[in-house]
Amino acid sequence: MPNATRRIGILTAGGDCPGLNAVIRGAVKSAARLGSEVVGFRRGFEGLVDPVTYMPLDTKNTSGIINRGGTILGSTNSGRFSARVGIEDRQDLDPELFAEVERTMSQLDLCGLICIGGDGSLSVAQQFHEHGIPVVGVPKSIDNDLSATAFTFGFDSAVACATDAMDRLHTTAASHDRIMVLEVMGRHTGWIALHAGIAGAASVILIPEIPWTWENVCQKILERDTQGKRFSLVAVAEGAELPGGGLVTREDPTPGQQVRLGGIGQIVARELEERLKRETRVVILGHLQRGGPPTNFDRALATQFGAHAVRLVFERRFGEMVAYHPPAVKAVPIQDAVNRISRVSADSAGVVAARALGVSFGEYPPNTSPVVKSLRDTEERPARPGGPASLRSA
């Protein structure tokens, strides 16, 4: 085995999520079969610089971690390597850090570094690549907000957690004729709220991408009353803006740091209770969505990501990231993943299907959405051979 592929570094950066350990295990097992060693750096990128903190990884100390949440290497989303892209402008790192990273990799005889992280962490990886540091990316995000990949691992697990909460809220809401509001994560995107809302039979879904009004939400709930359904479930993403504009935050913004979101669920619940004179409750899932074991889908996807990341290192395809393009796992430039956020489109399949089911996104009064009008118009037109054009082309 050439020295150029003798030892690989790996780290987990940014917020934790289910599936990180599955990536680590997949990379270690794949590297071992190729005769390569793996070194894991603790606490994300911070482990690369003074003080350098790492641990050798092998098939023994990574055995049995595929179903374990969190990361055995630890992680951090603050410190000297804080960098974000997407909605915010990129924050360049201190040039001296690159020299320290190069020194560490040289001392440990590393041929490449696998970085597992979201948009901020992969922005750091992109800067590593631009400075000649051999790095490969693995996309991670419960928000599913990274472009260039259909899904990130961690997302399915977060949706499963939120859906389970919706199921539990459904029974208590129906028993007491209550409105239940569930606040889920989603800073810039509503993927979790959308998927969990559909899977959990929400009546209203509020997401950052679609403006909404109090009147339209209230009308949807009143419509359910006329149908004999005296309870409603509302799923809201933490990053959804209020009708008057502005995000709900837990603290005042600090220069150079992302403000912590949270609390919109309480505002929605309070407003609906006042407007409708109906008993309303709110549940904020918070970090429950990040914890616990990964789903089967996330385990399989994360394991594949780990194995393919090792392959990219061996092929010296640095500056690239593994990406899921169903049914294949491919490689794309890291730059393509971090230069924009993947957001829910108002005409995406999930939104269109939800509207067809009668779900309100708060932007239209009930039964007046373009989807409903389009379906009614289609129903009134003479049928054509082969069925509706929209179905034939699907």
Please say whether the beta carbons of 281 and 111 come within 8 A. Answer: no
CA–CA gap between residue 236 and residue 205 (Å, rounded): 6
Tell me what percent of the chain is helix, strand and coil, each rounded to the nearest 5. Answer: 40, 15, 45
Q: Interior CA angle at 142 toward 136 and 144, to 5°?
A: 75
Q: Which of helix, strand or coil describes residue 204? A: strand
CA–CA gap between residue 30 and residue 215 (Å, rounded): 55
**Positions marked active-site:** 143
CB atoms within 10 A of CB 347: 10
Q: Report phi then psi at 321, rounded to 5.
A: -130, 140
**Bridge pairing between strands 320-325 and 328-333:** antiparallel
The arrangement of strands across the sheet holding 232-237 comes to 204-206, 232-237, 179-184, 280-284
User: How far, rounded to the nearest angstrom, does the alpha carbon of residue 313 sit from its chain's CA centroid?
Assistant: 25
Which pair of structure tokens corresponds to residue 86?
């997407």
